[in-house]
């Protein structure tokens, strides 16, 4: 990802916190030199300095069949917003888009076996709806086993993180204040969510 110096997000803890907050991401790999992508929820965990991403996709999705030995890219992005030139001090200005994005690169590893698949599902439940765990636990083993046979769980051990916060850092303090106030008061939920970052 092209990242101008003043937009770099270099703090790993900040990048991980962003990934944990906006965990629905895009998994990109290649098959016969063609990029392929799936949009998936991820659980993001840190063990020491190691960042690990866990998710699953449908077994019917062919993306997993070409993973052997591959490094993959997982793109986390949200929130984002259009920035109108009317918010700048100078009339000779152009529109832009402010956003935050983190690219996580790493080796993908399919999780084989029912126990590992169950653990991956429980990590996702703990991330997105901990209260659902009791319902999941109460379901029949036959049903759970059938559901797990229909998915491929996997982990990505992150080897590199690239982060960008394009948040009008190249504008004056008064312009940034105007941008943040405009975004916070608008109808666009993503823009309102971006406002505190400006």
Q: Is residue 174 part of a domain?
A: no
What is the C-alpha to C-alpha distance for residues 198 and 158, in angstroms, rounded to an integer? 28
Range of the domain at 73: 5-82+99-169
Surface-to-core class of residue 134, CB atoms within 10 Å of its CB (0-12 exposed, 13-18 middle, 19+ buried)? exposed
Q: Is residue 87 part of a domain?
A: no
pLDDT tens-digit map of 110-163: 998 899 999 999 999 999 999 999 999 999 999 999 999 999 999 999 999 999
Q: Is residue 197 part of a domain?
A: no
Map tokens 């591959």 to a residue. Answer: 70
Per-residue 3-state assignment (H helix, E strand, C coil) for the chain: CCCCHHHEECCHHHHHHHHHHCCEEEEEEEECCEEEEEEEECEEEEECCEEEEEEEEECCCHHHHHCCCCEEEEEEEEEEEEECHHHCCCCCCCCEEEEEEEEEEEEEEECCCHHHHHHHHHHHHHHHCCCHHHHHHHCCHHHHHHHHHCEEEEEEEEEEEEEEEECCCCCCHHHHHHHHHHHHCCCCHHHHHHHHHC
Q: Is residue 160 part of a domain?
A: yes
Q: What is the mean pLDDT of residues 43-68?
A: 95
CATH code for the domain in which residue 144 is found: 2.30.110.10
Q: Is residue 24 part of a domain?
A: yes
pLDDT for 112 equals: 87
Q: Is residue 71 part of a domain?
A: yes
For residue 3, pLDDT over 90 is answered with yes
Overall domain count for the chain: 1
pTM score of the predicted model: 0.93
For residue 75, pLDDT over 90 is answered with yes
């Amino acid at each position: 990802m092209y990242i101008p110096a003043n937009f770099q997000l270099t703090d790993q803890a900040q990048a991980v916190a962003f990934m944990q907050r906006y965990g629905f991401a895009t998994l990109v790999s290649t098959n016969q030199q063609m990029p392929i992508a799936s949009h998936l929820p991820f659980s993001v965990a840190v063990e020491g300095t190691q960042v690990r991403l866990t998710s699953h996709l449908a077994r019917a999705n062919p993306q997993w069949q070409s993973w052997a030995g591959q490094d993959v890219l997982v793109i986390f992005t949200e929130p984002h917003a259009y920035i109108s030139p009317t918010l700048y001090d100078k009339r000779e200005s152009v529109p832009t888009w402010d956003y935050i994005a983190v690219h996580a690169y790493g080796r993908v590893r399919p999780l084989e076996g029912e126990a590992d698949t169950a653990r991956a599902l429980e990590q996702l439940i703990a991330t997105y709806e901990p209260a659902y765990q009791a319902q999941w636990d109460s379901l029949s083993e036959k049903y759970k086993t059938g559901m797990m046979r229909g998915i491929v769980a996997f982990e990505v051990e992150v080897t590199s993180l690239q982060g960008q916060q394009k948040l009008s850092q190249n504008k004056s303090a008064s312009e940034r204040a105007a941008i943040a106030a405009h975004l916070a008061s608008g109808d666009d939920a993503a823009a309102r969510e971006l406002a505190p970052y400006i």
